[in-house]
Amino acid sequence: MKIKQKVWVAIYKKVDEKVMYLALKPTPGPDYMYDYYVVTGSVEKGESVEDGAKREVKEETGLDVKKLINLKHQLKFDDRRGSNIEYCFGALVDEGEIILNEEHIGYKWMPKDEFIKQLWWFGGDKQVLAKLIDRIDA
């Protein structure tokens, strides 16, 4: 069975030298039973994981990626469609109008500590999530 490549992207911006993170409120459904999450999605055929991350940010938020950071972390999981590997990224964006697609019903910009606390993280240990976010802040 082929493992499907996916991306996990934490979007952030800098406001007065402070880093703020975008938490997305998913449309309720069987796959989305949590309060806040990040941009996720599949990598299309012939597309690099980096290009997939940029495309997913644009599709789900309408924002353009200014800088993409590979967080050097992968999440492996099985779902009803098969086996997956999700590559984790941070994406710096400029100010711009957020245009959500059908996957989300709202959003909130949050400082790091609130973002880590509020975000659903299926990777388990929130300390791992905090270390990933620390890479963005560095």
Tens digit of each residue's pLDDT (9 = 90 or more) over 126-137: 788 888 888 888
How far are the Cα atoms of 10, 12, 17, 54, 134 from residue 137, in angstroms, in the given order? 12, 10, 11, 19, 5
More confident: 31 or 110: 110
- What pLDDT is stored for residue 31 in this prediction? 63
Q: Look at residue 36 and tell me whether its pLDDT is greater than 80.
A: yes
Residue (of 99, 81, 89, 80) closest to 40 by Cα position: 89
Interval 73-109: pLDDT, tens: 998 888 888 899 999 999 999 888 999 999 899 999 9
Nearest to residue 82, comparing CAs of 2, 10, 20?
2
The reported pLDDT for the residue numbered 79 is 82
- List, in sequence order, every residue forming a beta bridge with 77; answer none if it has no partner: 84
The whole-chain average pLDDT of the chain stands at: 90
Residue 85: per-residue pLDDT: 94
Does 33 have pLDDT greater than 80?
A: no
The listed range with the strongest mean pLDDT (37-41, 116-120, 122-126, 132-136) is 37-41
Considering the entire predicted model, what is its pTM? 0.90
Domains recognised in the chain with CATH numbers: 4-137 (3.90.79.10)
Arithmetic mean of pLDDT, 44-64: 97
Bigger pLDDT: 99 vs 125: 99
